[in-house]
Structures are given as structure tokens and as C-alpha cells.
Amino acid sequence: MEPVIKEGNEVLVSSVPFFFFKPKVGDIVAFKKFDRVFIKRIRNIKDDEYFLKGDNDKDSLDSKKVGWISGINILGKVLIY
């Protein structure tokens, strides 16, 4: 996610925004996959499925490996980073 979020950064995540608004393209979200928490940016949305990708196109593991993420796996929006 560099340069927006660098290694070691602390970020604040909240699910509250998504109680009022659905996640939208461009949002940075935390989600659970492979029993780990990841942070990526939403690039595409189809129904309740989210295609997520980091900002660093060259190195980022994108959703073609992670898979489309169901909305239920999204923990919250990254608000402060």
C-alpha cells in the first residue's frame, strides 16, 4: 500500500461508515482472508463482491490471487493512517 501506508504504520479501522454507506471504489479497507487481516484499496465492485488491490501495482498481491472478497469479510474502512 505504499506510499499511502508504509510498513509499521498504525491505522484506525472502523466498520461504522459501512453501516451508513456501502463501500465504494477507492476506499481503503481491512479485510480477513487466509485467517489474516489485509489492507487494500477497493478497485471494483460487483454486487457484494469486492476486487481489492494495493496501490503499488508492481508488487501488490491483487485479488486475482486473493480472490474476490465478499462484503462479509470486510472488517471496516481505514480512516486514519
Partner 1 sequence: MISFDIESQVFFDFFPQDWFNIDMKLLNFLFKILPTETAYAHCDIPCGIYDPFRAQQAAHTIIRMTELLGKVEREDETKAEHDISRMTHVKEKHSDILEEELNTLRDDYFKEEHFKEHPNLNELFIKTLKSVSKARQNISLGDAEATLNRVLEISEIFFKTKGVESVRVKTVYPTAREIVLHR
Which residues make up the interface to partner 1 (CB under 8 A)? 1-2, 5, 7, 9-17, 30, 34, 36-40, 54, 57-62, 64-65, 75-80
7 vs 47, which CB is nearer to partner 1? 7
Min. distance of Cβ 13 from partner 1 in angstroms? 4
- CA distances for 76 relative to 29, 45, 58, 59, 64, angstroms: 6, 16, 25, 24, 21
Burial of residue 36, with CB atoms counted within 10 A of its CB: 0-12 exposed, 13-18 middle, 19 or more buried: exposed
Min. distance of Cβ 68 from partner 1 in angstroms? 13
